[in-house]
Structure 1
Amino acid sequence: MKKTVFSLALATFGLGMAEFGIMGVLTELAKDVGISIPSAGHLISFYACGVVIGAPVMALVSNRFSLKNILLFLVAMCVVGNAMFTFSSAYWMLILGRLISGFPHGAIFGVGAIILSKIAPPGKVTMAVAGMIAGMTVANLIGIPLGTWLGHAFSWRYTFLLIVVFDLLVIVSVVFWVPALYDKAPARLSEQFHFLRKPEPWLIFAATMFGNAGVFAWFSYVKPFMVTVSGFSEASMTFIMTLMGLGMVLGNIFSGRLSVRFSPVRIAATTELVIMLAMLALFVLGEQKQASLAVGFICCAGLFALSAPLQILLLQNAKGGEMLGAAGGQMAFNLGNAVGAWFGGLIITFGFTYSYLTLPAAVLTFAAMTALLVYGHIKTKQQPVPVTQ
């Protein structure tokens, strides 16, 4: 099982590089292709749109082919999409490359989780899935700073060429280390949608989308923010992206430890409040280097501190449709990326400075916190009232 977990972690590492790596080379890409930074930022949104389109495919085809063959097909799509993006100069080809490379993202997470649920010993499934997800957090800690350095020292194309080569290695690891399994859903596909009749999963989807949008309205443009607002040099971005990646890793670990003492909804709502306050602090303190690093670290830690609690809430509220719930969570997560990057680009297009990115970020985060509070209120009302004698 360990080799299978490692192979899936390699796959999520590649996904993390593809999704977040563009943020560290955004200015180089815009200059090389001859487009504005907001237009380059929209390429982040197109990747997320690819995820939103591709995530439900897992639920539609996972019981027709072996999970291993589906995984191989999905990783091959990553290779094709990232290769197209690497070697293209026309904007529409860059868009197509991002759409194709984003399409397998959510499905890889979903298929990987199903594979691990079938091979992991009882009581070890959560740990195995956490090991798979760890690949993405490590990508933010190591892979993206490396990609940022490559983009600054040579070309942004070297960053994505590295992703293509890495994904080819992932294919090899899947061939040798992932077993051939099938997923035979016990319920008909139409029955798996029944959980969507209740408001609770929709509130969790909303919290996931708005929470991600809040962070990505700022983080999509972290490089121009740190350079033009905080006054860092472009050479400092490798260190900055490493620090932000460390925040994501530690946020994920910290959230997991808190889950022993607090409910998932309390952890998630509190995290959203912390992120909202951090965004407002960035607006005020963004011109101070140490403060912008510290507050940015908190925002990135909060981004991945939300992952586990929101996943648990989805599983709790998607009985009979867990597979679709997981796909919907990935759709909401990446739709939030698209919405956030779009809002950030809109602020810049309207002529505001990069420091103003944090204001819509705070508003979006507030919306996520509100959705979680409404969810908590509904759950509290559903609890039976103790009878006093």
Structure 2
Amino acid sequence: MNTGKLMTMPLFALAIAAFAIGTAEFVVMGLLPEIASDMAISIPASGHLVSGYALGVVIGGPVIGIALRAMREKTALLALMLMFVVGNAGCLLAPGFGWLMLARVFTAFSHASFIGTAAVLASRLAPPGKEAQAMVLMLSGMTLANVLGVPLGSLLGQLQGWRATFLAVMLLGLLAAALIAGFVPAGRASPSAPAGHGSDLRRPVIWLGLATSVMASASMFAFFTYIVPVLLQVTHVEAKVATAALFVCGVGITIGGLLGGRLADWNLPRALTLTLPCLIAVLVAFYWASASLYPALACMVLWGGLSFAVGMMLQALIIKVAGNAAAYASTLNIGAFNLGNAIGAWLGGRVLEMGWAFNAITLLAAALAAVTLAMVVAVLRTARRAPRSLLV
């Protein structure tokens, strides 16, 4: 029987797991200086941990999804959380950077399949008419990871060493596994890629939309990956202040995620074409604002809100233009965002390795956001020329 009361603990268990996964993905960005120092490598080189994880999500999603397709959802979720725990244990014990990278990629293999399976299960567990609310509640764990998990994990790593952060994330994964085992029902066989809708997936507008998500995410992570080094090297704040700044940025990210959903419901094409120019302006402004703490913080909050609002709207856009293949296209979009994560982190590292100043990262992010805007316009025009309306 689906009642709000009965579904509280299963959704809470899934949200805790999403919180752990989100923290594991993003907390490394707050630990790059510590990891670089301990491993005797450069900060740009340590930034490859972000790219490696993102590529692991892109590759691991379809591979692991196929491997677990015959399992019931609860069994699959427990297997994926076990992978997550083992991967973080590998990060904790890694003797060198190569082993740390391998452990990060292994951890990432569980990411897309877990989030995709959990979202489907959360929707099915909800009372009638509250399916979307249940999915948002589950995914709120990923959002809270940016507000709480990343700054607290960064602070722990600065005080006790970066390995302590991976220990904490591993224990959080064990807690999530115990909650899933205790409260989540068995469910059905894990969802796999639909065999039908092949003609829908062949539409150019879908793949243009996915490419747009890649570019938007590349813009975000070109900046987000190196935000702590920028604060340390350009703004000249202490590590603890940089951690507090991550928390403030996380608040903007949370607000932006909620705002993006409302804007998408209001007028998706207009919202995207208005929000992206604002994002570009904030990134350019940060180039100069980064010299002082409070102007930098203001730009970080605006940037976080605008970036995540754009991400939410692009997710809504891909669903709208995908027609009958909306569910699978939405899953592909998770991979697209993570591919963008990898590209953005790599491009940011290349800019720094070329000898550019740390705050030049923001100009790179602004340029990528400008390309995103041009691609959004192309997607909207293509969708409007389609034989049947795709933006309804």
Normalising to structure 2: TM-score of the pair? 0.92
Render the CA deviation track for 1:235-274: whole Å, top value 9, x for unaligned. Answer: 21221111011111111122233334222x3333433222
1:267 to 259, 265, 271: 271
| 2:118 matched residue in structure 1 | 112
Amino acid at match of 1:375: V
Distance (whole Å) between structure 2 residues aligned to residue 30 and residue 315 of structure 1: 40
| 2:3 matched residue in structure 1 | none
Amino acid at match of 1:244: C
Between 1:373-382 and 1:141-150, the stretch displaced more is 373-382
Render the CA deviation track for 1:81-119: whole Å, top value 9, x for unaligned. Answer: 111011113121011011011111111111011112322
Amino acid at match of 1:241: L
Distance (whole Å) between structure 2 residues aligned to residue 226 and residue 232 of structure 1: 6
1:314 to 315, 318, 326: 318
2:249 to 244, 251, 269: 244
Render the CA deviation track for 1:4-47: whole Å, top value 9, x for unaligned. Answer: 22111111101111111011111011101111111100011000
> Do 1:55 and 1:103's aligned partners in 2 also have CA atoms closer than 8 Å?
yes
> Do 1:56 and 1:324's aligned partners in 2 also have CA atoms closer than 8 Å?
no
Q: Per-residue deviation at 1:353?
A: 1.0
In the TM superposition, 1:186-225 aligns within 5 A as 189-225=194-230
In the TM superposition, 1:234-383 aligns within 5 A as 234-263=239-268, 265-382=269-386
| 2:142 maps to 1:103 | no
Q: Per-residue deviation at 1:384?
A: 7.6
Amino acid at match of 1:362: A
> Do 2:60 and 2:112's aligned partners in 1 also have CA atoms closer than 8 Å?
yes
Q: Which runs of 5+ in 1 are unaligned?
A: none
Amino acid at match of 2:353: T
Distance (whole Å) between structure 2 residues aligned to residue 194 and residue 182 of structure 1: 27
Task: Work out the number of aligned pairs and report it.
Answer: 383
> Do 2:74 and 2:185's aligned partners in 1 also have CA atoms closer than 8 Å?
yes
- The 3-state SS of whatever aligns with 1:262 is helix
| 2:38 maps to 1:32 | yes
Between 1:251-260 and 1:351-360, the stretch displaced more is 251-260
Distance (whole Å) between structure 2 residues aligned to residue 31 and residue 362 of structure 1: 29
> Do 1:195 and 1:317's aligned partners in 2 also have CA atoms closer than 8 Å?
no
Q: Which runs of 5+ in 2 are unaligned?
A: 1-6
- The 3-state SS of whatever aligns with 1:354 is coil
Distance (whole Å) between structure 2 residues aligned to residue 60 and residue 321 of structure 1: 18
> Do 1:282 and 1:358's aligned partners in 2 also have CA atoms closer than 8 Å?
yes
Identify if the C-alpha distance between structure 1 residues 201 and 183 changes in structure 2 by more than 3 Å, giving closer, same or farther.
Answer: farther
Distance (whole Å) between structure 2 residues aligned to residue 84 and residue 204 of structure 1: 36
After superposition, the CA RMSD in angstroms is 2.0
Identify if the C-alpha distance between structure 1 residues 259 and 323 changes in structure 2 by more than 3 Å, giving closer, same or farther.
Answer: closer
